[in-house]
Amino acid sequence: MINWNNLDTLSSYRKLSDVPKIDLVAEMTGENGAKRVKNFSVPMACGLSYNYAAKEVDDTILSNLSELAKEAQLSEKFEALYNGEVINTGEKRLVLHQLTRGQLGEKVMADGVDKREFYVKEQKRIADFANKVHSGEITNAKGEKFTTVVQIGIGGSDLGPRAMYLALENWAKRTGNFKMEAKFISNVDPDDASAVLASTDVEHSIFILVSKSGTTLETLTNESFVTDALKKAGLDQSKHMIAVTSETSPLAKSDSFLEAFFMDDYIGGRYSSTSGVGGAVLSLAFGPDVFAQFLDGAAKEDKLATEADPLKNPAMLDALIGFYERNILGYGSTAVLPYSQGLSRFPAHLQQLDMESNGKSVNRFGEPIDYVTGPIIFGEPGTNGQHSFYQLLHQGTDIIPLQFIGFKNSQLQNDVNIQDSTSQQKLCANVAAQIVAFACGKKDDNLNKNFKGGRPSSIIVGEELNPGSLGALLSHFENKVMFQGFIWNINSFDQEGVQLGKVLAKKVLAHETDGALAEYSKLLNI
């Protein structure tokens, strides 16, 4: 029996405030610090590990967090989710993105079909299509091979797939898995589509139109840019464009497309990288086998997330520590800092994943809540960030928890040795140094050069950023966000907050405005 209770009704939550806080500087200094780094680590899938030595927790706090995990029934709730309960209560929908990469529990039937079979079938159709494009069985009208794939989509149809593409591009080039270059058009700003198309060889391009509903205004508008470009080049759209959409969308039955691949309402946009939304572009760019490895990494990490003991479940533990920082320690944001150029847009994906999921002020029943929920997420790759905003992270007046990510090896494995170390070693030395600098600080009589320390961080470390570890990384954060939603008793799977802006924008375009909106419309010359 699952109880969906607000956080502030849990006795383990009320107890937590009274548990003594730790002094991170003291804990992380000397041999005790070394011990923490060795002990405060959980294995993840695909050679990754989650190390939380530099977080403001000790055994007492961890045991209280475990108690809260139990009282909040985090494990049971995940089980209900993957067994097909209606977890997205606002929209009355199942939440099935984990099913795109594996079967964690019972068979899930919906719309009269076995949903796992449905997702696998669509993946196979995409794989078959991609193989035919790569082999030259599917070509342009002149019988020439396609060289480029252009994804048209916004939000979840853009950020996740784009971040994943960038994360694997260099790896694929080194390992001989690079099949086609991918580009992305997302913004309704006409300069976005115009610039991408001006630099694209449309005659040798496949365009993927991605919209679950088939009604996303930005995406349909950008389709028109592509339609115009194809027409101008004397090309037939139905030979150059495919759709990824739901079976009930107007795009599903259109004959403007070479093919249509399907997802459904049980996969939210920000959770769709492992569905056809990510599958089509990644399979075309790197081949279906690479996409399968990516899914496999995610499936393995999902499996770890089913573990009831948070000390063996990195996503749950990360969620609990994040909740502790947010609701007990009062920190309002988290910086995501991947020391990997391949992850340059991964923070932007996590920003959507986390902030759109958990930026809510009502519980899952639509009732007001009296505690804070999702934090601000932002970040840039290191070492770039060090030369940008780290000043504030080290010496600013607010404390900002940090999520580092690092890999022992680079992706292209091309390096130079300067001052007795490679660039990859310098990169890794910097992330190690930063964690300790943030945690321990350094006393200086000149307060301008003084570092208080006590700034908490965790790090996910891996061997290499490749399809498997990327899948595991993605799954980790999806499940972390889900567990935090359970803790806060909110619905992490709807996004009603994006509606009002859409409604008002339509009014502006229809010139049905008054008051401030009319004046702003004038100001912007609409």
In the bound state with a second copy, the residue whose beta carbon lies nearer, of 152 and 299, is: 152
Distances (CA, A) of 200 to 193, 203, 222: 10, 9, 15
Contact call for residue 4 and a second copy (CB under 8 A): no
Q: Based on the residue annotation, tell me whether 240 is a catalytic residue of this protein.
A: no
Q: Which residue has the tokens 């009603």?
A: 496
Contact call for residue 221 and a second copy (CB under 8 A): yes
Contact call for residue 161 and a second copy (CB under 8 A): no
Contact call for residue 188 and a second copy (CB under 8 A): yes
Q: Which of 124, 132, 173, 387 is catalytic?
A: 387
Q: How far is the CB of 468 from a second copy (least distance, A)?
A: 18
Distance CA 91, CA 11 (A): 30
Minimal CA–CA distance to 441: which of 457, 423, 425, 427? 457
Minimal CA–CA distance to 466: which of 314, 337, 294? 294
- Among 164, 430, 478, 493, the residue binding a second copy under the rule CB under 8 A is 430
Beta bridge partners of residue 403, listed in sequence order:
336, 458
Three-class secondary structure of residue 243 per DSSP: strand
Q: How far is the CB of 41 from a second copy (least distance, A)?
A: 8
- Among 3, 135, 194, 215, the residue binding a second copy under the rule CB under 8 A is 194
Three-class secondary structure of residue 368 per DSSP: strand
Q: Which of 218, 259, 301, 356 is catalytic?
A: 356
In the bound state with a second copy, the residue whose beta carbon lies nearer, of 234 and 515, is: 515
Distance CA 230, CA 223 (A): 10
In the bound state with a second copy, the residue whose beta carbon lies nearer, of 329 and 509, is: 509
Contact call for residue 86 and a second copy (CB under 8 A): no
Binding mask 329-368 for a second copy (x = CB under 8 A): ---xx-----xxxx-----x--xx--xx-xxxxx---xxx
Q: Based on the residue annotation, tell me whether 356 is a catalytic residue of this protein.
A: yes
Q: Under rule CB under 8 A, which residues in 455-474 are in contact with a second copy?
A: 459, 461
In the bound state with a second copy, the residue whose beta carbon lies nearer, of 98 and 170, is: 170
Distances (CA, A) of 164 to 103, 281, 411, 415: 23, 10, 14, 23
Q: Considering only the stretches 57-65, 96-104, 105-113, 449-457, report the one whose residues sit in contact with a second copy under the rule CB under 8 A.
A: 449-457
Contact call for residue 201 and a second copy (CB under 8 A): no
Write the DSSP string, 23-79: -HHHHHSHHHHHHHHHHSEEE-STT-EEE-TTSS--HHHHHHHHHHHHHTTHHHHHH
Distance CA 125, CA 261 (A): 8
Contact call for residue 526 and a second copy (CB under 8 A): yes
Q: Under rule CB under 8 A, which residues in 397-416 are in contact with a second copy?
A: 397-398, 400, 406, 408, 410-412, 414-416
DSSP state of 362: B
Give me the active site residues, please.
356, 387, 502
